[in-house]
Amino acid sequence: MKYKFIAVVVIVFLVNPMIGSACSMYKITMNGKTIVGNNEDFLSPNNQFWFESAEDKKFGVMYMGQLNNFAQGAINEVGLVFDGFYAPELPVENIAGKEKLPIGKAIRNIMQTMSTVEEVKAYLETIDLSALSSSMVVFVDQSGTYLIVEGDLLIIGEESEKSFSNFYYSQIHSVEEVTLPWFQAGQEFLTTTKGKATLDYCSNAMKSMKQKSSDLFSTQYSTIYDLTSLKIRVYLYQDFTEFVELDLMKELKKGNHKTMMVDLFPKESLGSKFYYKYNDINNPVLFLQEQINPEAYSEKELIKMEFNETINILGYEWLEHKKNPEVAIKVFQYGIDLMPNDYDLYDSLGEAYLENKDWNNSIKNYARSLTLNPENENAIEALLKCKEGRDKLKVDNR
């Protein structure tokens, strides 16, 4: 079944701590200066910045995200930033009469035209936010005022310090109730140190909330923003020993362009080494084997860990975004070798063979998926496509 490779606002959240996914954000405002930090935690290191210059009364913006070009976060030239978080299901019911707009487009409109969270709130009150039923979005403006978007609930706050992660503030009485270990590690740092509105202090705060490389879904990059100077510090792969610094206005003057984050760092850096291992065409699952040794677990244990979803994320990145069905086939086949009764992985392997126009192997795997799950409508539709492709091939070869 085709896995929707989606960015942070609707990202798959794996609750097993060994392969858990999370994101963190912290803001501090002092003496008229606001600094915001963000950790982006996920499986893939294929992350990029892209810049859209100001034009037609629109602000210039730097976005960040993966190869699917869906913004996981952004900062504009007037110091408005946003980040998104997966969170538990929270129904969005107040949608009557509101504009139906893809959330990505709504956020792009915000970042191109707005400077304060009050403006953002007024705009979002007109938008159908049902796409955020399992997500939270946070905006912070240059003044340090923040906006938490919890579906129907839009909360503005002005505390000098505030931390955010994969939970709803509306659902707790105090941060002590939050059961996320990385968030509590950050709280311990913040309560035992004296806050400073500096890039260094905010960097240390985000370091305290990082996900380790021993977790599959680890901190792939961290961004620290000075909302006044518009300087952006970037750390790669939870390595806080080295960073690069970007000047937003200088980058925007270069015109519209993209930059892979890994290209900003030396090839000897930890992030670069992981990037090349992750993108190894010959052995695309080596990093999985080194980090958690999947072969040591039973199929039942792997499914409980939702390792099948990890395989789908990896395989579909190769298939959809790197356009390499041959490597995707290797990934899905590896998953099936470990979990031979997972109908969804056979469906995924069938799709990879279909993209590769290997009709017979595609039919074989879709058929196996259908045997394991007779209700799999996607397999039925795909088998018809395979038959059409195979029949056309026979005609062309006559």
Q: Specify if 2 maps to a domain.
A: no
Distances in Å between the alpha carbon of 385 and those of 204, 244, 307, 322, 332?
Answer: 53, 48, 29, 23, 20
Per-residue confidence (pLDDT) for residue 57, from 0 to 100: 87
Tell me if 250 is assigned to some domain: yes
213-225 average pLDDT score: 88
Based on the fold, state whether residues 257 and 297 are members of the same structural domain.
no
Number of domains in the chain: 2
Residue 3 falls within a domain, yes or no?
A: no
**Same structural domain for residues 169 and 20?**
yes
Number of helical H runs and strand E runs in the chain: 13, 14
Q: Does 217 share its domain with 271?
A: yes
Quick check: is 108 in a domain? yes
Residues 70 and 15 in one domain: yes
Which helix or strand (DSSP H or E) is residue 137 part of? strand 135-140
pLDDT band at 6 (very low <50, low <70, confident <90, very high): very low
Return the amino acid letter for 5. F
Q: Is residue 1 part of a domain?
A: no
- What CATH number does residue 302 fall under? 1.25.40.10
Contact 272/262 with Cβ under 8 angstroms? Answer: yes
Is the domain of 82 the same as that of 175? Answer: yes
Domain check: are 179 and 293 in the same one?
A: no
Start-end of H helices in 86-156 = 103-113, 117-124
CB atoms within 10 A of CB 121: 16
Asked if 303 and 224 sit in the same domain, the reply is no
Average of per-residue pLDDT across 89-108: 92
pLDDT at residue 217 in the model: 87
Distances (CA, A) of 232 to 51, 252, 266: 13, 13, 18
Residue 137's domain comprises: 8-275
Cα 167 to Cα 131, 309, 354: the distances in Å are 17, 22, 39
Question: In this predicted structure, what is the pLDDT of residue 391?
Answer: 80
Q: Are residues 235 and 292 in the same domain?
A: no
pLDDT at res. 11: 36
- Show which of 259, 275, 291 is a domain's final residue: 275
pLDDT greater at residue 322 or residue 216: 322
Please check whether residues 237 and 289 belong to one and the same domain.
Answer: no
**Of 215, 241, 275, which one is at a domain's C-terminal end?**
275
36-79 confidence digits (pLDDT tens): 999 999 999 999 999 999 988 899 999 999 998 889 999 999 99
At residue 315, the 3 state secondary structure works out as: helix
Domain boundary among 226, 256, 275: 275
The confidence score (pLDDT) of residue 20 equals 39
Spatial separation of the C-alpha atoms in residues 95 and 220, rounded to whole Å: 35
Whether residues 350 and 368 fall in one domain: yes
CA distance 352 to 331: 10
Same domain for 360 and 220, yes or no, is no
81 sits in which H/E element: strand 81-86
Pairwise CA distance, residues 365 & 332, whole Å: 11
Q: Write the CATH number for 147.
A: 3.60.60.10
Q: Does residue 67 form part of some domain? A: yes
Task: Read off the pLDDT of residues 116-127 as tens digits, 9 standing for 90 and up.
Answer: 999 999 999 999
Query: Would 332 be classed as within a structural domain?
Result: yes
Asked if residue 232 is part of any domain, the answer here is yes
Q: Are residues 322 and 188 in the same domain?
A: no
Average pLDDT over residues 234-255: 97
| Token digits of residue 86 | 């997966």
- Provide the sign of the torsion angle of the four alpha carbons 144, 228, 38, 102, taken in this order: positive
